[in-house]
Amino acid sequence: MDRSYRRTVSLVTLWQVSASICYYTVFAATPFFRDEFGLSRLSVGFVVTALTLGYAVWLLPVGALIDRFGERRTLVIGLVGLSAGAAMVAGAPTYALLLAAAFFLGSMYATAIPGTNKAVYDNIAAGRQNFAMGIKQVGVTAGSGISSLLVTGLAGVLFWQAGFLIATGVGLVVAVIFAVLYSGTSDGGTAEYPDFRALSHNRPYRVLVAAGFFLGAALFTTTGYTVLYVEEEIGTSVVFAGVVLALVQLFGSFGRILTGWLSDILPGEPDTRIGAILIVQAVVGAGMFVVVAATDSPWSAVVAFSALGFFVLGNTGVYYSYMATLVTADEMGGATAAGQLALVVGSVVAPPAFGYLADTVGYRSSWWLLAVGTLVAAALLVYAIRLEPPVDEPAMQE
């Protein structure tokens, strides 16, 4: 691998790790929010919803800005904002201000996926893009795993906000490093704003976005309720539950790397082979939700949640790789933003529904709800790969 490749992938992955540390602190802190503010499981779900709603509101505008002005300056500003958002969540004195701080933190994270995806597809040569995407996407799960250990581990030693403050410091330091060392090739003002109307006429892309709703519901709800479920239902300590969430993220990282590598080396047309990998992940992930619902001991929870992470959290790299076979390079920022918006809309709706079922019926029904949604995503993906991609020169080329 040449020096330019390593430099780009390293910097973009470092950015993604630090951004995800800031963003995912909220998911790891759900037991502390419940204790600090006296929340029900449903109210905890609304904290996650506020976070992801801020993300959703800003995804399309930020995606358009990245296509127009390039990713470098947007990513620097976004990471500074994420650092500030983590500090705001830690300092929120009331539930209402906690929701507002979570919304702001989520809005800053809207720079992440569109910006880092554009960095990969604009600066990495064809034939290496899927593996680079898998490595970059590991930054999401690695950052989330680190944040879960920081928040839950330091809470018992210091105070529950300590992990948030460390996340703030890490984000600010990495923002400076990224601003100084990242150059890229796509900064500038020559690109046009993305044509979202043209994207809406792209049939397989539309179906992929619809599947993204259910994939996002599964992913974000899993990360939002793992700690709370393992602590309350399995009967472990918060620290043990934080380790389980970290394992979910770790195995999600393995899934992203492995499927990115397979996407590059398997034979066949890119859209077909990558779409097939994503379908397998969705089907097996649905089965793992059923297994998780039946767990009743700490160590069976470790095994079940680790496997769940591999398939459910390990599919986002392939999701974007498949997307890159359906749109052109010039559309990638806007297409990513819309695709990520679908994931996030699922995460806005699903956590409160999951929490409501857990409060009124029990956690088993909540996990089954995610299983059904993931099977719907798999069915949509089967339909998508049967459709002919409408672009002659997709962002991903052999």
| Tens-place pLDDT, residues 182-234 | 876 554 444 455 556 666 677 888 899 899 999 988 887 888 788 888 888 88
pLDDT higher for 103 or 140? 103
> pLDDT confidence of 82, banded at 50, 70, 90?
very high
Q: What is the pLDDT of residues 12-50, one digit of tens each?
A: 888 999 998 999 888 888 888 888 888 777 787 788 888
Tens-place pLDDT, residues 326-373: 877 666 666 777 787 788 788 777 878 888 888 888 888 899 999 999
Residue, of 276 and 140, whose pLDDT is higher:
276
The per-residue pLDDT for 195 is 59
Cα 374 to Cα 36, 47, 210, distances in angstroms: 33, 23, 12
Percent of the chain predicted with pLDDT > 70: 87
Rounded-to-integer distance, Cα 338 and Cα 225, Å? 25
Nearest-angstrom CA–CA distance, 102 and 307? 29
Region of poorest pLDDT, from 104-108, 265-269, 323-327: 265-269
For residue 294, pLDDT beyond 80 = yes
Average pLDDT of 148-160? 77
Q: How many residues does the chain have?
A: 398
| Count of other CB atoms within 10 angstroms of residue 38 | 9
Most confident of 93-102, 115-124, 175-184, 223-232: 93-102
Q: Which residues contact 297 (CB under 8 A, 6 or more apart)?
A: 234
Per CATH, domain 3-182+194-385 is 1.20.1250.20: yes
* CB-based burial, 151-162: b 16+ in 10 Å, e otherwise: bbbbbeeeebbb
CB 304 within 8 A of CB 15: no
More confident residue, 217 or 124: 217
Q: What is the pLDDT of residue 124?
A: 67
- The pTM of the full predicted model, rounded to 2 decimals, is 0.70
pLDDT top residue among 324 and 370 = 370
Q: What is the pLDDT of residue 192?
A: 53
Give the three-state DSSP class for 394: strand
Tally of CA atoms within 13 A in the half-sphere of 122 that contains its CB:
23
- Highest mean pLDDT of the ranges 194-198, 255-259, 377-381: 377-381
Report how far apart, in Å, the C-alpha atoms of 122 and of each of 16, 192, 275, 315 are. Answer: 17, 15, 22, 22
Q: Is the separation of the CB atoms in 320 and 339 below 8 Å?
A: yes
